[in-house]
């Protein structure tokens, strides 16, 4: 099984103003003369972390990572103004111009896979290849599966679901996303933080194949919980700012682009059916369904992703 590459530090960082309001934090790592790749983090709102640099051979890749609007070290923190999928697609192009590359590999997992597809469909001429993990196509049934009372995830992670559900009074549970949104966007700071932590503990603790219902989640740190919960609820209640079935409808634009799809067989946040639906629209893509959950850190996911990036590096170096 392949493992992550060794830890590395950025050779350059940037703060890029993409509007009068938003400034993005950007890192460049690896080899400045290598194959360009942009890493798109999940959430929305999760931000980047040092391990995300490690899916790529640092001798062969020019690795670009950034915190999306409102996330991580980008400012303003957890801000929702002018924060839509179209804005993020435009930001990716602005970053490409900043780092002076003509075309690049686009790598994204979970919400990052959604954004990667949206970007590549808007700019196929700029996309050297796609590496997509934990596919999320932003359809209503996918949103309802994990977060709403008629979804299926509650039957698999019932302990975490109960804590997520019980934060909301029974009278408001017909639309859990809106109920959480009212608290996440309210005036009371303590309520906002409590709602963010309830939301983030449910999602962040549901990612791995080996599940401990009482273990801390990936997003329990309060700062990260707030950006994740606010941005996810904002995007969820607006259908991720995409037209219904937009990503599958326009997938034909990508059939000439080398693409690898990696998905955990036991991914409960983004069920494996979503990856199969995408593969039907992109039959030329390599599809790897592996013994894993949703987490990009599950060993089988790491193995498949590193193999995919190595293969693209072989192709372009």
Q: Who's near 71: CB < 8 A, 6+ residues apart?
A: 41, 43, 44, 45, 46, 47, 78, 227, 231
List, edge to edge, every strand of the sheet that includes 286-290: 12-17, 23-30, 61-66, 35-40, 104-109, 127-133, 259-264, 286-290
Residues 29 and 55 sit within 8 Å (Cβ to Cβ): no
Residue 110 is a catalytic residue: yes
Catalytic, out of 74, 110, 200, 295: 110
Catalytic, out of 62, 234, 263, 294: 294
Residues 98 and 16 sit within 8 Å (Cβ to Cβ): yes
Residue 294 is a catalytic residue: yes
What is Dmax (Cα atoms) for the chain?
59
Report how far residue 295's alpha carbon sits from residue 208's, in angstroms, rounded to the nearest whole number.
Answer: 5
Catalytic, out of 79, 267, 277, 303: 267
Report how far residue 64's alpha carbon sits from residue 214's, in angstroms, rounded to the nearest whole number.
Answer: 35
Residues 113 and 135 sit within 8 Å (Cβ to Cβ): yes
Catalytic residues, which ones? 110, 267, 294
């Amino acid at each position: 099984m392949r493992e992550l590459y060794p830890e590395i530090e950025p050779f350059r960082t940037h703060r890029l103003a993409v509007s009068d309001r938003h400034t993005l934090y950007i890192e460049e790592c690896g080899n400045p003369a290598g194959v360009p790749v942009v890493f798109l983090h999940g959430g929305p709102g999760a931000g980047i972390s040092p391990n995300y640099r490690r899916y790529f051979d640092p001798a062969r890749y020019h690795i670009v990572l950034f915190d999306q609007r409102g996330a991580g070290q980008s400012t303003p923190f957890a801000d929702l103004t002018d924060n839509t999928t179209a804005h993020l697609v435009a930001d990716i192009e602005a970053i490409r111009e900043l780092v002076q590359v003509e075309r690049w590999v686009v790598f994204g997992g979970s919400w990052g896979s959604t954004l990667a597809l949206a970007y590549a469909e808007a700019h196929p001429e700029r996309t050297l290849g796609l590496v997509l993990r934990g596919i999320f196509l932003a359809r209503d049934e996918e949103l309802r599966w994990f977060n709403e009372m008629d979804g299926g995830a509650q039957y698999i992670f019932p302990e975490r679901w109960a804590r997520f559900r019980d934060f909301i009074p029974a009278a408001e549970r017909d639309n859990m996303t809106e109920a959480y949104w009212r608290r996440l966007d309210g005036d009371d700071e303590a309520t906002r933080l409590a709602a963010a932590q309830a939301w983030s503990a449910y999602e962040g603790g549901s990612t791995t194949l080996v599940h401990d219902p009482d273990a801390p989640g990936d997003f329990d740190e309060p700062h990260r919980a707030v950006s994740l919960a606010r941005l996810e609820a904002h995007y969820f209640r607006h259908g991720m700012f995409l037209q219904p079935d937009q990503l599958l409808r326009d997938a034909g634009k990508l059939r000439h682009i080398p693409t690898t799809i990696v998905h955990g067989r036991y991914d409960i946040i983004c069920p494996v059916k979503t990856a199969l639906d995408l593969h039907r629209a992109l039959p030329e893509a390599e599809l790897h369904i592996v013994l894993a959950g949703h987490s990009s850190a599950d060993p089988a996911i790491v193995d498949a992703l590193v193999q995919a990036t190595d293969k693209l590096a072989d192709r372009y170096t």
